[in-house]
Amino acid sequence: MMIRKKIELSLVKATLDDYQQSWNLQLDGAAFSTNSSILQPVRYEGIPAMLKIALVEEERRGSKLMVHWAGNGAVKVLRHSSAALLMERASGQGSLRDMVWNGADDEASKIICQVAAKLHTAKASASLKLIPLSEWFYALFFAANQLDGVFSQCAEIARFLLNDPIDEVVLHGDIHHGNILDAGDSGWLAIDPKALYGERGFDFANLFCNPEMTIAIQNGRLAQQVGVVSKAANLDSKRLLQWIVAWSGLSASWMLADAMPIDQKLKLIEIALSELNS
């Protein structure tokens, strides 16, 4: 295992070195990684930038969508290849997470809606590999077949929505407070899309699970934000609640597969179902 780890680290360094030389990048901080990408802060032609190297197909698909957006609601792409993305670095001091913690939850949600509106103007293209929402929800349908209970309730609502979609657009797929960054004079911009296609309302569901589940399940929080988001994004509040239930069930399915605790997610589903049935 140790030998394999050393080999992986060596390959990562070699890959970073290749892009540093071919794109004339100056290192500007320590590289770091996620489960799906390697990221290296750099400077490019004097501009603070971020080099992102995709390790999985999902990230490569999202990178193509970042290029397609061309800075309209998303961080601007400076250079790209089949596996790498060089983006302007969002260096503003603002944080949507901090706004929520500091009592500006409504304002943070409105900013998210404004960014999403820009992203949703993008037209689908043959060059984009977009995943239909019906495929994205496979894990929820599997969980419903295996476990029944609340997963079946979520799956039933998801099928209802997916069978009769309205206002279909190119979707970010993972909009939340941590994926929309302060880019200073350029405003708030999105990163890390999943590149999906389906009903516009889906893209707002995840923000109700964020920035932390402890906040998401606070008394009255979901109802308050449903009112804010439905107005700001011009969405039907009942259908938005249905997407929240469907998305939360899907998220809980993924978490269960990864052996993560889902108690708080189930609580949010309970709250959303209660609002839906009231």
Is 173 within 8 Å of 136 (Cβ atoms)? yes
Query: Any idea which residues carry the catalytic annotation?
Result: 174
145 residue type, one letter: N
Is 246 within 8 Å of 165 (Cβ atoms)? no
Q: Please identify which residue in the block is written with the tokens 């009769």.
A: 164
CA-to-CA distance for 2 and 187, rounded, in angstroms? 44
Q: What are phi and psi of 130, to 5 degrees?
A: -100, 135
- Give the containing element (helix H, strand E) for 153: helix 149-163
Is 203 within 8 Å of 165 (Cβ atoms)? no
Listed in sequence order, the residues at least 6 apart from 246 whose beta carbon sits closer than 8 Å to its beta carbon are 137, 140, 154, 157, 158, 161, 202, 205
Tokens of 75: 């961080």
* 36 alpha carbon, distance to own chain's centre: 14
Tokens of 274: 């209660």
